[in-house]
Amino acid sequence: MLKVKKSLRALFVVTIVTIVALTSNINAAFAAEPDPDTPLNQENLQKLSATEVKKLENGVQFDLGEYNAFIRIYSEDLVKVSVLKDGQEEKDSPAIQKKDWKTPRFKTTDGENEYTISTKELTIKISKSPFGVKFLDKQGNVINEDYMKNGASSGYENGKPYVYKKTSKDENFYGFGEQTGSTLNKRGKSLGMWNMDSYGYTNKTKYVYASIPFFMGLKDGKAYGIMFDNSHRSYYEMASKSDDYYYFYANGGPLTYYFMNGPEISDVLEQYTELTGKIKLPPEWSLGLQQSAWAYTPEQLVDIAKTYRDKKIPLDTLNFDIDYMDGYRVFTWSDRYKNAFKEIENMKGLHTVAINDPGVKKDENYSIYNEGIENNYFVKQSDGKPYIGPVWPGDSAFPNFLNSDVKNWWSDHIASSLLNEGVDGIWNDMNEPAVFNDADGYFHTLPLDSYGEDDQNNKVLHSEFHNLYGHLENEATYDAWKKSKPNERPFILTRDMFAGSQRYAAIWTGDSMSTWEHLQMSLPMNMNLGLSGASFVGNDIGGFGGQANSELFARWIELGSFLPFARVHYDQWSDRNYHQEPWSFGKDVENISKKYIEMRYQLMPYLYNAFKDASETGKPVQQPLVYHYQEDENTYNISDQFMFGDSMMLAPVVEEGKTSREVYLPEGETWIDYWTKKEYEGGQTISVDAPLDHLPIFMKEDSIVPTREVQQHTGEKDLTNLVLDTYVDDEASYSFYEDDSKSLDHEKGEFDVTNFNIEQKRNKIEFSKSLEADHFDSKIEQYTIKLNNEEAPEKVQAGGNKYQKVNSLDDLTNTKRSFFYDEKTKTVYVNIPVEEKKKVQVNFNNKVEVNANLTNN
């Protein structure tokens, strides 16, 4: 958030050495950069060879002289590969959650120069001299292999662990956590991972806020994954030097990586999130719209909350940025903001999220600082004294989250000062960690030779725990709920992540700018984060820095209403006259905003179920087309379309002045235009009109999308009428999950799962349901089946019960066992009481084949 408007007087209480010159149109921006990259000296690579082999209970050990290599079999499709110095302990980073793997049966064969390990799904061939690893599927096809031409496929170069892998021109790469750039596919890119406070980043910025050292390869339509379990600064040359190989390495630490076989992308992602943890099912309120700004006054916060309600634009949450604190001291409140907070908390259906930074102000009259000093809780500089560096409150100390006592102390204060006061969620910012010390030569973070101490009193240099800092802070924050609200679901939003952080927090992509470049870039950034296990992801709607115009905000709110995490957030400190609420750009944009925000709330049952899927399988909520259609090569490089859940495809407009766009429809499906109901055969690119108020949306045929009536906030009304928006040509099914949406009771089994099936049978459509789980007191009284693109039915019945034909949707809602046909939209609506036991049949006289209207553009 570092920026200054030229015409404003300096208001900071600290000296900020790096100043960002800003005007209302942003004429300069600053993205902090780390020290220069450390290149890999390719003339100094190790040539390792195995002299002895030893079979272990869960794998094989190879004696490489000064080093040992370990191939450990975690599952039929998951293998851990390590090359460590002789006597060095195999140690997992904090990213790894699951450690109690049940080793599957495997066979080994020791050949003259090749050792083979076989599971039910994988064959692993290890070359002894030179040492190298090759993975094959059960059909004998090579999935992935070390690049052996240089004779040094893996090892250490001057202490830097590295791995070279063979590739071909048709292999594509996805994931890598949070990366800039306009493309989803990262083949040919040179990527880096070192968490940085990157305000105003661009498509070419190499280092941003989060580091997730995991990626997927897709070759011959089959996927695999690699997780480099190393927290040091790392580098990924993804066929950027040659079409024949890619490689990754780190500035230090162990050579340890996990290999995951697909062949489906979904298989890889499920294994990765089983290893590092899946997101927890969030509270439903956190899926509603959130509104935020840096430097809202207390009066503005209250007024904005009231304006949302007065204008009947749905809103669930207001965020409190750093202004609420007393002099930016963490765990304190300014009296004026505390009063505003209480007023908002008393408004029906509004929740609050409070920002929290790790920097603790150096102030001998400040209890938090004194506690940290007295208990030795802060990161130390090389001479053993606490490191003090400038951030928002001025000179500050930084908690050593490597230590359990420190994490416990931090979570105690979050519980007592924030959660116990009524705050509903925590927003962890500045946790790269960012420090305004650039002029001292420290590259906007703690000195690399500063250190923390772990629970065993081992010194861990900042060069190793830098990328873990926010992860460990998020863990401490998560634990605060156990102390304050033990049966409530946590909501934590973080700017910084490492692999595994998804089990604690949602992520947003930091201080984006109000530009078309950032709008476009947000799509591949979010989708690659989703492909890295971080399903709960979003961006600052409208952009944070600079100022959006009406067109840009309209396009951004259209897209933003369908992000997993939806929050409008902007910089108001730089220009008090600029506003970025939905009504700030005129009535037309207000109407557009309301239209799409209301759609989000209508789709809340669908969105909530998508998050349930993510919590069980690691599946993204905002999915790139390649996730579903990896057999369709045309999806491999699509960066501006995505699936919202499994059934809805969105093609937002992300270019200035455009009122139409090309849309690719993946092959193997029939696609229905959500607005016009026109049907298209997949495997083609079409041109669609997209005026300012129009977001192109396409529904996948044979889908059911659960919806409900619009609410002004989640939980405003009980869900009594579940609408099943259905597009059926053959058969559609949906498993609908329901719980109380806020507590942890679902972990004790208190939930319902209802399986719906809608099937086309000659001249009738048949609806049936079955209860898979019935342990929640659901308030649903009826299901409304919405059948799109249908002729008028002759009759509707369930067994001997005939359904009554009514003349309006209002009549339908109020009449049990009824149906209504909307001739204008060619839609059949059927009201089915929840207690209906028999199959419901919608009968037609002479049903026209749907394919007769199919468009092949």
Query: What does the longest C-alpha to C-alpha distance in the chain come to?
Result: 87
Q: Write out the two tokens for 637.
A: 């490089």
- CB 221 within 8 Å of CB 629: no
What is the spatial distance between Cα 391 and Cα 474, in angstroms, rounded to a whole number? 19
Relative orientation angle of helices 335-345 and 298-310, to the nearest 10 degrees:
20
- Tell me whether residue 702 is one of the annotated catalytic residues: no
* 103 class by beta-carbon count within 10 Å (0-12 exposed, 13-18 middle, 19+ buried): middle
Strand pairing class (721-727; 731-738) = unpaired
Residue 648 CA, chain-centre distance (Å), reads: 18
Q: Give the integer Cα–Cα distance in Å for 805 and 716.
A: 31
SS (H, E, C) 100-156: CCCCCCCEEEECCCEEEEECCCEEEEEECCCCEEEEEECCCCEEEEECCCCCCCEEE
Q: Residues 237, 429, 632, 739: which is the catalytic one? A: 429
Task: Report d(CA 774, CA 736) in Å as an integer.
Answer: 12
What H or E segment, with its residue span, contains residue 528? helix 516-530
Q: Terminus-to-terminus CA distance in the chain, angstroms?
A: 47
CB 361 within 8 Å of CB 386: no
User: What single-letter DSSP state applies at residue 489?
Assistant: P
Give the span between the Cα atoms of 79 and 121, in whole angstroms.
Answer: 11
| DSSP characters over 115-126 | EEEE-SSEEEEE
For residue 668, which phi and psi values (nearest 5 degrees)? Answer: 90, 0
Catalytic residue flag (residue 110): no
Query: Coil, helix or strand for 453?
Result: strand
Tokens of 143: 């999935």
Our answer to whether residue 429 is catalytic in this structure is yes
Return the DSSP state at 643: E
Q: How far apart are CA 489 and CA 483, in angstroms?
A: 12
- Write down the catalytic residue from 171, 197, 284, 432: 432
89 Cβ partners below 8 Å, 6+ apart?
A: none
Asked whether 419 and 346 are in contact (CB, 8 A), the reply is no
**Residues whose CB falls within 8 Å of the CB of residue 328, separated by 6 or more in sequence, listed in order:** 13, 322, 357, 361, 391, 392, 393, 394
Instruction: State the Cα–Cα distance between residues 419 and 415, nearest whole angstrom.
Output: 5
Assign residue 273 a region: left if phi > 0, alpha if psi is -120 to 50, beta otherwise?
Answer: alpha
Q: Tell me if 624 sits within 8 A of 638, measured CB to CB.
A: yes
* Residue tagged active-site, from 511, 598, 646, 836: 511
CB 828 within 8 A of CB 842: yes
Tell me the C-alpha distance between 619 and 628, whole Å. 11
Q: Exposed, middle or buried by CB within 10 Å (0-12, 13-18, 19+), for 289?
A: buried
- Catalytic (active-site) positions: 429, 432, 511
